[in-house]
């Protein structure tokens, strides 16, 4: 019973590099989310999706891209990484109300 799985758990990127954070859920949830959480701060919504093929911007979408080709997967793409993108990234999914979160990806951009 995996729930929401994020990979990798940790990553160090150099400025200008790109990468994809992976998120997959096995609960057949329609709704999926990406958040970032800076140290001592709350969760900020980056992008969300209400179903396969449908995505929308959250509070802080700049510098990120997403796609949702299947119900299970919701990858987050960082293009041209910047130090300001150093953060912990959480993926979440929900069917109706209660959201389930992954364990997070700690990203450092140097």
Partner 1 sequence: SQKIEQNSEALNIQEGKTATLTCNYTNYSPAYLQWYRQDPGRGPVFLLLIRENEKEKRKERLKVTFDTTLKQSLFHITASQPADSATYLCAPTSGTYKYIFGTGTRLKVLA
Specify the length of the chain in residues.
110
The answer to whether residue 100 forms part of the interface with partner 1 (CB under 8 A) is yes
3-42 positions binding partner 1, by CB under 8 A: 4, 31, 33, 35, 41-42
Binding partner 1 by CB under 8 A: which of 43, 67, 73, 77?
43
Rounded distance, CA 20 to CA 89, Å?
12
67 lies in the binding site for partner 1 (CB under 8 A): no
| Rounded CA separation 11/23 (Å) | 15
Number of residues that bind partner 1 (CB under 8 A): 24
């Amino acid at each position: 019973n995996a729930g929401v799985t994020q990979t990798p758990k940790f990553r160090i990127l150099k400025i200008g590099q790109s990468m994809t954070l992976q998120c997959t859920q096995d609960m057949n949830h329609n709704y999926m989310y990406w958040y970032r959480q800076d140290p001592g701060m709350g969760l900020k919504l980056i992008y969300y999706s209400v179903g396969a093929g449908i995505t929308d911007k959250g509070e802080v979408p700049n510098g990120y891209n997403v796609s949702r080709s299947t119900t299970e997967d919701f990858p987050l793409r960082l293009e041209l990484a910047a130090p300001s993108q150093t953060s912990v990234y959480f993926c979440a999914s929900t069917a109706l109300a209660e959201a389930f979160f992954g364990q997070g990806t700690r990203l450092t951009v140097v």
